[in-house]
Amino acid sequence: MTVELISVGTEILLGNIVNTNAAYLAEKIALLGLSCYHQSAVGDNEERLEDAIRLALSRSDIVILSGGLGPTKDDLTKEVTAKVFGRELYEDAHSKERIQAYFDRRRAQGREITANNWKQALVPEGAIVVDNYNGTAPGIILEDKENGKTAILLPGPPNEIRPMFERDIAPYLNKLQPEGIYSKMVKICSIGESQAETMVADLMDAQSNPTLAPYAKTGEVHFRVTAKAADEETACRLMEPMLQELKKRFGDYIYTMDEEVTLEEAVVDMLRERQMTVTTAESCTGGLLAGRIMNVPGASSVYREGYITYSNEAKEKLLGVEHQTLETVGAVSPETAEQMARGAARQAGADAALAVTGIAGPDGGTPEKPVGLVYIGCCVQGRIRVEEFHFTGNRSKNRDYAVVRALTLLREELLRDQTQAEIR
């Protein structure tokens, strides 16, 4: 069964927004075991949108359109799709009630219904209406059973399309197949993509059902194990030997087998389990590391305070980095990273500390200290470790990599601390 994606909106064509919906939907469709051979983006133009829909329906079984379901005149997706399917629009009472309730809840914030909002309550005849729990535009499933064609219309905002897809569209698509597709994720840090893939090359060469696929992330590698089966229980039995083999081969490199858990969540959980606190001292990352930790709900139980010490003066004043160190070896050095980590732990009274100092770019590099050189210091219970990294991305990418490497380094040291405690 083939699916085609059409992203609707002139703002996509102009580059005003990044089309994250297409990437999200493509990944989800693949995980459902559906084929996607074409994607397109079309502006808010009736004629061009109609051509795009007709072309997609001529070569695919299902067309998923995202965007163009808003209340304004240039939102044409619903109207044009209804025209292609030969259906009239009518006002859906259920959708109208939900729109009314949505604005009633927001009246205190000054949100009032305008006449064009009722446009979103219009749906094509015979359509399946999908409730939107995060906005006003309902999703629509329009089936042409005689020709075996289906159009699925979804709202454009990511915070609306994603929960709607997970809640209603994915189960709908899964029922269209005799067998469902089920998957598990294994997330790995501390080793690179090439090494990780080499470690499972034989498994990938011999795969059939389940299958194993690697995904490179910033500073991480994710492996998705996918099985096709009549039900989830059968799929889990098929995947279990593969999952156990991955555990055997990667061991502590695996930080989670839960798709929803992030690296920072795994690290915060480790700190919480050990009843330990952490602090951060950042130069080139400028608070990104602290921000990643703060993204974790409940991080306040392990994180109390942090330091952004961009200048040498701040490193001396807030962290106690020695002036002589900065004068002789410079701010970007293993010595400075060590003193930053020790100083942060001391000042915050924390069990652990991470320190980052480096040259993110694009300027500031020298032959001796090029752009991308970063030193990360980690102090756990007074034990210090400093690592040197050479990143090759732009300024933003170098900072992102530094954050991931810092979290990975802390995780490694917490594991080492646990191993030593068990030996004792």
Helix or strand or coil: residue 31?
helix
Tokens representing residue 56 in the block: 């997609």
- As given in the structure block, the two tokens for residue 146 are 């005689």
Among the listed residues 80, 64, 186, the one whose alpha carbon sits nearest the alpha carbon of residue 130? 64
> What single DSSP character describes residue 275?
T
Residue listed under structure tokens 């160190």: 325
Contact present, 335 and 325 (Cβ < 8 Å): yes
Q: What is the mean pLDDT of residues 9-26?
A: 95
What percent of the chain stands above pLDDT 70? 98
CATH of domain 263-423: 3.90.950.20
Beta bridge partner(s), residue 308: 282
Sequence-ordered strand ranges (E) for 218-351: 220-229, 254-256, 278-282, 303-308
Decide if 180-256 and 263-423 have a common fold.
no
Residue 424: pLDDT above 60?
Answer: no
User: Average pLDDT, stretch 391-420?
Assistant: 93
pLDDT in tens, 98-110: 999 988 887 766 6
Sorting pLDDT into bands at 50, 70 and 90, what band is 249?
A: very high
pLDDT at 417 over 90: no
- The pLDDT of residue 110 is 67
What's the pTM?
Answer: 0.77
Residue ranges covered by each domain of the chain? 2-175, 180-256, 263-423
Question: Which pLDDT value is given to residue 108?
Answer: 62
Q: Are 224 and 185 in contact (CB under 8 A)?
A: yes
In which band, very low, low, confident or very high, does the pLDDT at 423 lie, cut at 50, 70 and 90?
Answer: low
Does pLDDT of 421 surpass 70? no
Pick the CATH number of 2-175 from 2.40.50.140, 3.90.78.10, 3.90.1150.10, 3.40.980.10: 3.40.980.10
Fold of the domain built from segment(s) 180-256: Alpha-Beta Plaits (3.30.70)
Task: Read off the pLDDT of residues 60-92 as tens digits, 9 standing for 90 and up.
Answer: 999 999 999 999 999 999 999 999 999 999 999
One-letter amino acid of 387: E
Averaged pLDDT, 316-336: 98
pLDDT band at 212 (very low <50, low <70, confident <90, very high): very high
H/E/C letters for each residue in 64-121?
A: EEECCCCCCCCCCHHHHHHHHHCCCEEECHHHHHHHHHHHHHCHHHCCCCCHHHHHHH
* Low-confidence winner among 1-10, 101-110, 301-310, 311-320 (lowest mean pLDDT): 101-110
Does the N-terminal peptide bond of residue 178 adopt cis geometry, omega within 30 degrees of 0? Answer: no
User: In which element (H, E) is residue 388 found?
Assistant: strand 383-390
> How high is the mean pLDDT of the chain?
94
The values of phi and psi at residue 186, to 5°, are -120, 115
Mean of pLDDT values over 41-46: 96
Mean pLDDT, residues 245-256:
97
- Torsion angle of the four alpha carbons 51, 56, 59, 63, in this order, in degrees rounded to the nearest 10: -150
Q: Which region holds residue 152: left if phi is over 0, alpha if psi is between -120 and 50, else beta? A: beta
Task: Note the pLDDT of residue 115.
Answer: 85
Please name the residues in contact with 187: beta carbons below 8 A apart, sequence gap of 6 or more.
Answer: 220, 221, 222, 223, 254, 255, 256, 257, 261, 263
pLDDT tens, position by position, 356-401 = 999 999 999 999 999 999 999 999 999 999 999 999 999 999 999 9
